[in-house]
Amino acid sequence: MLGWTMSAIAATASAGNVMLQLRTPYMTLLSASRSAMATAATMANTIAQPIAQPPPSPSPSPSPGPLPTNSSLDIIGYYGNSGNAVSSIPLLTDVSHLYNVLILTFASFNGAGNMTLDLQGPYEKDHSQLIVDVKAWKQMADVHGRGRRVLVSIGGQNGNWPSGLSTAAVLAGLTSFLTAYGLDGLDIDLEGGSVGASSSLVPVVKALVSRGYTVTAAPEAAQGPLVAYCKSPLLSHLSWVHPQFYNNGPNSVTTPYVPSADLWPKPWTVHDWQAESQGQSFWAGVLGAIGDVAGLKPAQLGMLVPATSAAAGSYNHWDMDKLAAQVAAAGVTHVGTWAVAYDKTQNWKLAESLGKLLG
Convert the pLDDT of each residue in 274-324 to its tens digit: 999 999 999 999 999 999 999 999 999 999 999 999 999 999 999 999 999
- The answer on pLDDT for 52 being more than 60 is no
CA distance 158 to 191: 9
pLDDT in tens, 29-40: 334 444 444 444
Helix (H) or strand (E) holding 41: helix 2-48
CA distance 106 to 119: 6
Full-model pTM = 0.82
pLDDT band at 233, cuts 50/70/90? very high
pLDDT for the residue numbered 164: 83
CA distance 181 to 92: 14
Region 336-358 average pLDDT = 97
Q: Where are the alpha helices (DSSP H) in 166-221?
A: 167-181, 192-197, 201-210
**CATH code of domain 74-358:** 3.20.20.80
Of 195 and 128, the structure prediction assigns the larger pLDDT to 128
Rg over alpha carbons for the chain, rounded to the nearest Å, is 41
Contacts of the segment 57-60: beta carbons below 8 A, 24+ positions apart: none
Q: How far apart are the first and last CA of the chain?
A: 126
Please report, for the chain, the start and end positions of each structural domain, with discontinuous segments joined by +. 74-358
Region 35-62 average pLDDT = 46
Amino acid at 166: S
pLDDT for the residue numbered 61: 42
Helix axes 201-210, 167-181, angle to 10 degrees: 40
pLDDT band at 65, cuts 50/70/90? low
Region 248-257 average pLDDT = 97
Please, are residues 229 and 219 in contact by the beta-carbon 8 Å criterion? yes
pLDDT in tens, 78-127: 999 999 999 999 999 999 999 999 999 999 998 888 999 999 999 999 99
Compute the mean pLDDT over every residue in the chain, rounded to the nearest whole number: 86
pLDDT band at 68, cuts 50/70/90? confident
